[in-house]
């Protein structure tokens, strides 16, 4: 078979790209290693910036998002047992929407297949060829047979552990990386959220976060060490730890508890490769960069990457103009480094390294007091959290 754009990976980056291209009459085939069932049930991010919501609306896939998504105009930072609201709407005129990543993935998959798009799930042995020349191709197995997909361009949207980035010859990519001494233990529970807005808590025992998925499902996270085993965390221990880290000085706050029906541990890292393109291969989303989850940016920056890529591909197919394609990496990286900084900043401000010295602890508290009391600092926090406009 042959297509215009061969896309590796049916996560948010690959699906948004395929659907944006389809709306412009550009053909693509998505090759996805996992099953549809697996991809649609993988629990991950939950915070959508306005730009991501707008991208869903432009594609006409926002019907469920509009009815089930939860609009949040502010969030809370809690430290020293007290809460401080950051009023995003008042500070920067923008808000965020809480809607699970797997719901975004379901909506895009449904729309893409209904519109005649092709997604090959459970594609095996995916390998990229000849993208340094004019005739790239992708080989893979599907339904027990070997196939070659010829294409004009390859979009590597296969996440951090995919094949696209490692296919680039040695010496081309520069890697920037930081691994943190923390991980997040995340749960979903059948419990009414205890606060209408997200709560990011800095506590001497470590970071905790209250989020949600619906009026009856709470999403909660705890800072743990990267080598922590889920088996060591009974439901009782998880709830006790969450209650302690979320407590307020006046004792008035209690988290609503309920049946835990999903749990997982995610390590935390910052990672960027430059450039995000080589020949006719373009990397997008987690395939090119990772942020620690504290700023809720991973999914959103994956979407802004593929907005840039689809605009560049549309310009190329409509006019033959290559300038936008050539500038793809540089354009993406300006936004990514802002997001990398913000995610690192939020992570550093809110987590407690187990060997934190008293000097660092005082700096952290001072930063938290500043960011919640100075108008200028709150405004800066709000505009980064809500998401800066795309260039």
In sequence order, the 6+-apart residues with CB closer than 8 A to the CB of 200 are 75, 76, 77, 78, 207, 209, 294, 346, 350
Q: Is 31 exposed, middle or buried (0-12, 13-18, 19+ CB in 10 A)?
A: buried
Q: Could you tell me the CA-to-CA distances from 120 to 4, 67, 113, 165, 320 in Å, in that order? A: 16, 30, 11, 20, 29
Residue 352, both tokens: 């407690």
- Whole-number minimum distance, CB 175 to ligand FAD, in Å? 17
Distance between CA atoms of residues 245 and 247, nearest Å = 6
What is the SS3 assignment for 223? Answer: strand
CA–CA separation, 198 and 47 (whole Å): 10
Q: Which is nearer to ligand FAD, 188 or 247 (CB)?
A: 188
Using only C-alpha atoms, the chain has a radius of gyration, in whole angstroms, of: 21
* Packing angle of the helix pair 328-350, 375-386 (nearest 10 deg): 130
With CB under 5 to 8 Å by kind, the binding choice for 104 among ligand DHB, ligand FAD, none is: none
Picked from ligand DHB, ligand FAD, none, the partner binding residue 219 (CB below 5 to 8 A depending on kind) is: ligand DHB
Helix axes 298-319, 328-350, angle to 10 degrees: 170
Q: Whose Cβ is closer to ligand DHB: residue 213's or residue 331's?
A: 213
Q: C-alpha distances in angstroms, 154 versus 7, 170, 280?
A: 6, 19, 6
Residue 51: helix, strand or coil by DSSP?
helix
Q: Is 45 in the site for ligand DHB (CB under 6 A)?
A: yes
Residue 70 burial by CB count (10 A; 0-12/13-18/19+): exposed, middle or buried?
middle
- The residue within the footprint of ligand FAD, chosen from 159, 193, 206, 387 (CB under 6 A), is 159
Chosen residue from 112, 165, 219, 280 binding ligand DHB by CB under 6 A:
219
Query: Is residue 72 annotated as part of the catalytic site, yes or no?
Result: yes
DSSP 305-363: HHHHHHHHHHHHHHH---HHHHTHHHHHHHHHHHHHHHHHHHHHHH---TT--HHHHHH
* 13 binding ligand FAD? (CB under 6 A): yes
294 binds, options ligand FAD, ligand DHB, none, Cβ within 5 to 8 A by partner type: ligand DHB
Nearer to ligand FAD, 13 or 382 (CB): 13
- Catalytic residue, candidates 72, 203, 278, 289: 72
294 binds ligand DHB (CB under 6 A): yes
- Asked if residue 11 binds ligand FAD (CB under 6 A), the reply is yes
Among 4, 23, 34, 258, binds ligand FAD (CB under 6 A): 34
Of 45-84, binders to ligand FAD (CB under 6 A) are: 45
Rule CB under 6 A: is residue 77 a binding residue for ligand DHB?
A: no
Active site residue 354: no
Part in contact with ligand FAD (CB under 6 A); list of ranges 9-17, 66-74, 198-206, 232-240 = 9-17
Question: Site residues for ligand FAD, window 97-116 (CB under 6 A)?
Answer: 101
218 binds ligand DHB (CB under 6 A): no
Q: Which tokens go with 96?
A: 């965020």
Q: Which of 12, 112, 293, 328 is catalytic?
A: 293
Distance CA 24, CA 318 (A): 9
Task: Please pick, from the candidates 104, 302, 333, 339, the single residue that binds ligand FAD as defined by CB under 6 A.
Answer: 302
385 catalytically annotated: yes
Decide: is 293 part of the binding site for ligand FAD (CB under 6 A).
yes
Is position 198 an interface residue for ligand DHB (rule: CB under 6 A)? yes
Which secondary structure element, helix H or strand E, spans residue 378, and what is its range?
helix 375-386
CA atoms of 254 and 246, how far apart (whole Å): 8
CA distance 66 to 97: 10
* Part of the chain binding ligand DHB (CB under 6 A), chosen from 45-53, 147-155, 269-277, 328-336: 45-53
Q: Which stretch binds ligand DHB (CB under 6 A): 109-117, 240-248, 289-297, 320-328?
A: 289-297
In the bound state with ligand DHB, the residue whose beta carbon lies nearer, of 19 and 286, is 286
The residue ranges that bind ligand DHB (CB under 6 A) are 45-47, 198, 209, 211, 219, 293-294, 296
Active site residues: 72, 200, 293, 297, 385
The residue ranges that bind ligand FAD (CB under 6 A) are 8-14, 31-34, 39, 44-45, 101, 123, 126, 157-159, 161-163, 266, 285-286, 293, 296-299, 302
């Amino acid at each position: 078979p042959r297509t215009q754009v061969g896309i590796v990976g049916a996560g948010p980056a690959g699906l948004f790209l395929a659907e944006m291209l389809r709306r412009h009459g550009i053909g693509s085939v998505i090759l996805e290693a996992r099953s549809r069932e697996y991809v649609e049930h993988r629990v991950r991010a939950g915070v959508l910036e306005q730009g991501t919501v707008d991208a869903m609306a432009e594609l006409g896939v926002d019907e469920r998002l509009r009815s089930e998504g939860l609009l949040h105009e502010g969030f809370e930072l809690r430290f020293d047992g007290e809460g401080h609201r950051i009023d995003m709407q008042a500070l920067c005129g923008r808000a965020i929407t809480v809607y699970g990543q797997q719901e975004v993935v379901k909506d895009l998959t449904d729309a893409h297949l209904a519109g005649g798009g092709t997604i090959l799930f459970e594609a095996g042995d995916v390998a990229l060829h000849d993208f340094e020349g004019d005739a790239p191709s992708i080989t893979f197995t599907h339904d027990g047979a070997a196939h070659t997909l010829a294409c004009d361009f390859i979009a590597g949207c296969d996440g951090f552990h995919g094949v696209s980035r490692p296919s680039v010859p040695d010496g081309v990519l520069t890697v920037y990386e930081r691994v943190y001494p923390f991980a997040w233990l995340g749960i979903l529970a059948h419990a009414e959220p205890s606060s209408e807005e997200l709560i990011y808590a800095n506590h001497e025992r470590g970071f905790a976060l209250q989020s949600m998925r619906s009026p009856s499902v709470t999403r909660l996270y705890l800072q743990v060490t990267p080598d922590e085993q889920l088996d060591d965390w009974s439901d009782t221990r998880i709830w006790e730890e969450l209650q302690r880290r979320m407590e307020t000085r006046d004792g008035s706050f209690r988290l609503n508890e309920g049946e835990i029906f999903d749990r997982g541990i995610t390590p935390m890292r910052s990672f960027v490769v430059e450039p995000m393109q080589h020949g006719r291969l373009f990397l997008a989303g987690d395939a090119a960069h990772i942020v620690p989850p504290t700023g809720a940016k991973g999914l959103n920056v994956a979407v802004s990457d593929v907005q840039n890529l689809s605009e560049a591909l549309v310009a190329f197919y409509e006019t033959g103009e290559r300038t936008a394609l050539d500038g793809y990496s540089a354009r993406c990286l300006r936004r990514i480094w802002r997001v990398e900084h913000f995610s690192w900043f939020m992570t550093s401000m809110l987590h407690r390294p187990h060997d934190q010295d008293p000097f660092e602890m005082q700096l952290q508290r001072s930063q938290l007091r500043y960011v919640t009391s100075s108008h200028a600092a709150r405004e800066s926090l709000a505009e980064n959290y809500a998401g800066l406009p795309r260039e």
